[in-house]
């Protein structure tokens, strides 16, 4: 039973890593990669493009 839970946790981690790799964005303020859970997209009206921030960096 413990092996089954460990295996599912590893699968969840792997799925999360692939999602992060697909949606990898760089914070406009600090330059660090942003995880999906920390992502705050902001539309820049003048350049008509998106800027991405950490929630903590934008505040």
Is the C-alpha dihedral spanning 41, 44, 45, 48 positive or negative?
Answer: negative
Residue-number span of the structural domain to which 50 is assigned = 2-58
What pLDDT is stored for residue 14 in this prediction? Answer: 73
Whether the predicted pLDDT of 58 surpasses 80: yes
What pLDDT is stored for residue 34 in this prediction? Answer: 86
What pLDDT, in 10s, does the model give residues 2-52? Answer: 566 777 877 777 776 666 565 678 888 988 888 888 888 888 888 788 888
Name residue 2's beta-bridge partners.
none
Residues sharing a CB contact under 8 Å with residue 41, sequence separation 6 or more, in sequence order: 50, 51, 52
Pairwise CA distance, residues 9 & 29, whole Å: 33
What pLDDT is stored for residue 40 in this prediction? Answer: 84
φ, ψ for residue 33, nearest 5 deg: -65, 145
How many structural domains compose the chain?
A: 1
């Amino acid at each position: 039973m413990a092996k089954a839970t460990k295996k599912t946790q590893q699968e969840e981690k792997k799925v999360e890593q692939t999602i992060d790799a697909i949606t990898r964005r760089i914070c406009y303020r600090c330059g660090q990669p942003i995880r999906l859970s920390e992502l705050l997209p902001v539309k820049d009206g003048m350049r008509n493009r998106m800027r991405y921030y950490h929630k903590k960096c934008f505040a």
